[in-house]
């Protein structure tokens, strides 16, 4: 699947289970208190690259939320 195909599939046109349920993979998420896998992040305003591990090293608590808000 190309990046463009993935983007089009993620940006579905209606909120119905057939379109959002494939993205709901909670069983694959780390449990509360478990270390999450590290991955790159970019600051929304400056576009500077950092990583999840750099953020959690400088903060006592880190909450990461992913989702589509429309």
Q: What is the number of domains present in the chain?
A: 1
pLDDT in tens, 26-54: 888 888 888 888 999 888 889 999 999 99
Asked whether the beta carbons of 40 and 24 are under 8 A apart, the reply is no
Q: What is the reported pTM? A: 0.51
Model pLDDT, residue 69? 57
Range of the domain at 41: 3-57
d(CA 48, CA 13): 31
d(CA 7, CA 70): 15
Q: Is residue 66 part of a domain?
A: no
Q: Is residue 25 part of a domain?
A: yes
Q: What is the mean pLDDT of the chain?
A: 84
- The 8-class DSSP code of residue 21 comes to G
Torsion of CA 52, 28, 5, 43, to 10 degrees: -10
């Amino acid at each position: 699947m190309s990046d463009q195909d993935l983007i089009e599939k993620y940006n579905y046109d209606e909120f119905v289970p057939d379109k959002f349920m494939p993205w709901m993979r909670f069983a694959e998420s780390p449990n509360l208190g478990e270390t999450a896998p590290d991955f790159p992040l970019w600051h929304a305003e400056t576009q500077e690259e950092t990583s999840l591990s750099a953020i959690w090293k400088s903060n006592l608590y880190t909450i990461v939320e992913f989702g589509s808000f429309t």
